[in-house]
Amino acid sequence: MKGRTWGFVCPEDGGICYDHPDWGDKVWCPSNQHGGNGKFFPVAQVQEGWAMPDKNTGSGLTEAQIKALRDQQTEAAATAGVPNVPIDITEKQAAKAAAKAEKAAAKEASKTAPKEREPKDCECGCGEKTKGGRFIPGHDARLHSRWNAQAKASGFANWKEAQEARFPFDSPEVIAKLEAAAKEAAEAKTKKEVAAE
């Protein structure tokens, strides 16, 4: 980006500051605006960001000109598809903001209209249509009730125990056995009623 450099930004004039291992925790701004010899600043007083090197040469740019230049560069970056990030953030924060913007864009792109669920026959065997699930609300209990009857007629305590033993629910043999048991129960009830009269 022409006119700007990433680095330590002078807290007084927005110019770029330089660091050196011999200076410890200080950075130096060479700007003529600091009395002609530049000035040292503690690292704690400066932030990393886009600095204006022109400030170091005493070019006389006004704050309005600097703001206009930064706005132009921000607009150019946005046109090029670079996320618009604040000028005074660190490189790590800029990378994080770019990744977040990319993730949000990917999430937005992956959003599609909810898939229409196709109505199906209810698995309880009632013959009604669901809104796309396996059962109409409450009908799973009907299925479990029917399975309980089949399991008990076949000697199991409940449908879960039968399921663990891989019991063939709703098979023709099981249904025939259940019908025979129901018929026997009805006949026994009839005999009992006749005997009671």
**Is the pLDDT confidence value at 174 over 70?**
yes
Q: Give the residue extent of every domain in the chain.
A: 1-71, 139-196
Query: Tokens at residue 57, please?
Result: 């040469």
Task: Give residue 150's pLDDT.
Answer: 84
State both tokens at 121. 């026959």
Name the pairing type of β-strands 16-19 and 26-29. antiparallel
Q: Average the pLDDT over each of 48-57, 155-164, 178-187 and give the range with the smallest value.
A: 48-57
158 in helix, strand or coil? Answer: coil
Q: How far from the centroid of its chain's Cα atoms is residue 171's Cα?
A: 44
- pLDDT of residue 126 exceeding 80, the answer is yes
What confidence score (pLDDT) does residue 60 get? Answer: 45
Sign of the four-CA dihedral 13, 18, 22, 25: positive
Confidence band for 85, pLDDT divided at 50, 70 and 90: very low
For residue 182, the model assigns a pLDDT of 80
- What is the model's pLDDT at position 19? 77
- Identity of the residue numbered 165: A
pLDDT above 60 (res 59): no
pLDDT band, very low/low/confident/very high, at 75 (cuts 50, 70, 90): low
pLDDT tens for 137-169 read 988 888 888 888 888 888 888 888 888 888 888
